[in-house]
Amino acid sequence: MSAIEVKNVNFVYGKKTPYEVHALEDINLSIKENCVTGIIGHTGSGKSTLIQMFNGLVKPDSGKVFVDGKDIWEKPKEISKIRYKVGMVMQYPEYQLFADTVWEDIAYGPKNMGLSEDEVKERVTTSAAFCGLDGEALAKSPFDLSGGQKRRVALAGIMAMKPAVLVLDEPAAGLDPRGRREILGGICKYQKESGTAVVIVSHSMEDMAKYCDELFVLSHGKLLLHGDCKEVFSEGELLRSAGLDVPEIYGVVKAIRKQGADISKYIYTVNGAVDAISRLLEGRDE
Amino acid sequence: MEPLIKFENVCYTYTGNDAEPGMFAVHDLSLEIKEGEFVAILGHNGSGKSTTAKLMNMILAPNSGDIYVEGNKITGRELTDEDVFEVRKKIGMVFQNPDNQIVATIVEEDVAFGPENLGVPSQEIRKRVDEALDIVGMREYARHAPHKLSGGQKQRVAIAGVIAMKPKCIIFDESTAMLDPMGRKEVMNTIRRLNKEGMTVILITHYMNEAVLADRVIVMKSGEIYEQGDPKDVFCNVERLWEAGLEVPQTTELIFKLNKKFGWEIPLGVYDFDTCARLVTEKIKEVRGENVGN
């Protein structure tokens, strides 16, 4: 069963005004359990609207959204329950911190779920560890931390609710390369150990190639492509026409093939390219 | 000729509290930016890049050390609003989030906001706005509403707003960080074009493939200059950049890793895809040729 299922979903902003925009048009997709799914698309392609449907922040004009096989809008009054199941980390979540200490900020979600004190404690410690926050950081005020650390606190706060699906909108935006690696690496580690579904929205093709198992590409509110990295990034022309691109290394690998070395076509990371070249040299390439 | 911007032993500390005294955001920093130069500043989060930028156009004032703009000292004395105005007229800044920089509800009015505040006569404003929109390629959107533009388009409007103030230098503080790949290309093309036409450009970025386009790269770490020079030379020092929490362009990383793994000696550099591929392919063929010979 899929973690989230979206069926024939449509959404229009500014209906019956001159500013009407068809933000999502007849979208059908399913987010698999136990894997990292990436959603890419140009600015204004409908990514954020789509992920806000996953936890009921936006209600589709038509069509249905299923979480765990259940229509989330069946009982509209209970929609807030869905937000514990589908945890959402918004863009620049560090602006949402509010508590006196990091510990309290992370504990806010689990406490509101009515968990016992021991359970809350356990969850705060585990999720802080995934996000690379140590005991010392937990005692500090979140406002004394650097931007990158604040972001980890916000992320840990959502993880602590143990949502069945974790959705992240641009979790690495504005971070330096090491910060990107640490935060995205932490998210993937969390995914593997928890076995949940993780959805990441990003503009970095290099990061998506490195961390995602499945990709959905949106363009002007429509689903343009779907598949694993191999399938999606082999559509370079289509991606570029949608305002996106392929990872840099893919361009190099393509040029290597053009110059006559029969290296595999499906390479999207530098380490992948190094491995493929060594396979080629040992004469055991595919 | 006097450098456009000069820092002499500049220190800046964000105020701390008793438990944790303030840390140096910028420490004993000396640098010069020449007129017409395209300088990229790199560094991990918290390395002092943005503080440096804010010191350049007087958003912040240093705790010690001196800063000169076109030879005029802008530190060490009581400054009037006029002094600040003079500097900001010369050195404009474009920030990360385009939504935070747009003030008007129509593109051309937004671009006119800066010159209006400088007291430029209205006919001159009209001229400057049109020119600025032409430069960033947004003239046809002059009467559109900014909030309906794409991220790249909005950022170009923000740049036009700075251009209309006719500065000598524009600082881009991670101005492409929130954009999609196409938006980044649009903005980078605009930046390069401005520089070719004589604008001094200071580009603060986390994207190495943007920094490669600069005349000079300054890498900052712990508020100090860690490395600087021609981008080609700086990026060849792969391990040293990794130590500073940075990355190198993927073409350079590939050659570095191949050299390390196979003991090859392909010259390190910053290459376009085809050159990188040619160097690698030649080596592969050479090695395979030997294997056949053996």
Domains in chain B, CATH or no CATH each: 5-248 (3.40.50.300), 249-294 (no CATH)
Q: Which of B45, B181, B291 shows the shortest C-beta gap to A179?
A: B45
Residues of chain A with C-beta less than 8 angstroms from the C-beta of B287: 281
Interface test with B, best of A248, A257, A268, A285 (most B CBs within 10 A): A248
Is B254 in the A-facing interface, judged by CB distances under 8 Å?
yes
* Closest among B58, B45, B49, B60 to B13, alpha carbons compared: B60
Phi, psi of B188, rounded to the nearest 5 degrees: -65, -40
Residue A286, pLDDT score: 46
CA B74: distance to chain centroid?
Answer: 22
Fold classification of A1-74+164-245 is Rossmann fold (3.40.50)
pTM above 0.90, yes or no: no
> Where in B194-244 does DSSP place strands (E)?
200-204, 216-221, 224-229
Instruction: Write down the mean pLDDT value for chain B.
Output: 90
CA A120: distance to chain centroid?
Answer: 25
β-pair type (A4-13, A21-31): antiparallel
pLDDT of residue A281 exceeding 90: no
- pLDDT > 70 fraction of chain A, expressed in percent and rounded: 99
* Token pair of B14 as six digits: 């964000």
Cα(B276)–Cα(B270) distance, rounded to whole angstroms? Answer: 8
Q: Which of A247, A252, A277 shows the shortest C-beta gap to B276?
A: A252
What is the residue whose two structure tokens read 């009982």?
A75
Contact A277, A284 (CB under 8 A): no
Residue range A38-67: mean pLDDT, rounded: 93
- pLDDT > 70 fraction of chain B, expressed in percent and rounded: 96
Phi, psi of A275, rounded to the nearest 5 degrees: -60, -45
Cα(B213)–Cα(B236) distance, rounded to whole angstroms? Answer: 15
* Closest among B162, B98, B104, B105 to B133, alpha carbons compared: B162
| pLDDT classification of B17: cutoffs 50, 70, 90 | low
* Token pair of B96 as six digits: 């990360």
Residue B294, pLDDT score: 40
Residue B151, pLDDT score: 80
For A24-40, write each residue's pLDDT tens digit.
Answer: 999 999 999 999 999 99
Cα(A183)–Cα(B281) distance, rounded to whole angstroms? Answer: 35
β-pair type (A86-89, B24-33): unpaired
Task: Please count the CA atoms within 13 angstroms of the CA of A238 that sit on its side-chain side.
Answer: 13
For B228-249, write each residue's pLDDT tens digit.
Answer: 999 999 999 999 999 988 989 9
Residue range A270-282: mean pLDDT, rounded: 90
* Closest among B156, B203, B212 to B179, alpha carbons compared: B156
Q: ipTM value of the model? A: 0.77
Is B79 in the A-facing interface, judged by CB distances under 8 Å?
no
| pLDDT classification of A43: cutoffs 50, 70, 90 | confident
β-pair type (A214-219, A222-227): antiparallel
Interface of B with A in 101-140 (CB under 8 A): none
Q: State the virtual CA torsion across B171, B177, B182, B186 in degrees, nearest 10.
A: -10
Report which residue type is found at B192: R
Residue B208 belongs to what H/E stretch?
helix B208-211
Handedness of CA B182, B183, B184, B188 (dihedral sign): positive
* Token pair of A30 as six digits: 């399913």
Q: Which of A174, A178, A244 shows the shortest C-beta gap to B245?
A: A178
Residue B21, pLDDT score: 61
Residue B288, pLDDT score: 83
Residues of chain A with C-beta less than 8 angstroms from the C-beta of B179: 43, 203
Could you give the angle at the alpha carbon of B243 between the alpha carbons of B6 and B23, nearest 5°?
A: 55
CA B37: distance to chain centroid?
Answer: 11
Residue A180, Cβ density class (10 Å: 0-12 exposed, 13-18 middle, ≥19 buried): buried
Contact B221, B244 (CB under 8 A): yes
Phi, psi of B227, rounded to the nearest 5 degrees: -165, 145
pLDDT of residue B18 exceeding 90: no
Is B290 in the A-facing interface, judged by CB distances under 8 Å?
no
Q: Where are the domains positioned within chain A? A: 1-74+164-245, 98-161, 247-286
> Around Cβ B244, how many Cβ atoms within 10 Å?
21
* Closest among A281, A205, A236 to A38, alpha carbons compared: A205
Residue B201, pLDDT score: 97
Q: Which of B45, B250, B277 shows the shortest C-beta gap to A175?
A: B45
| pLDDT classification of A260: cutoffs 50, 70, 90 | confident
CA B92: distance to chain centroid?
Answer: 12
Cα(A98)–Cα(A108) distance, rounded to whole angstroms? Answer: 10
* Token pair of A269 as six digits: 């990371």
Span of B52-56, B206-210, B225-229 with lowest mean pLDDT: B206-210
Quick one: angle between helices B122-135 and B181-196, nearest 10?
120
Residue B128, pLDDT score: 94
* Token pair of A46 as six digits: 């409908």
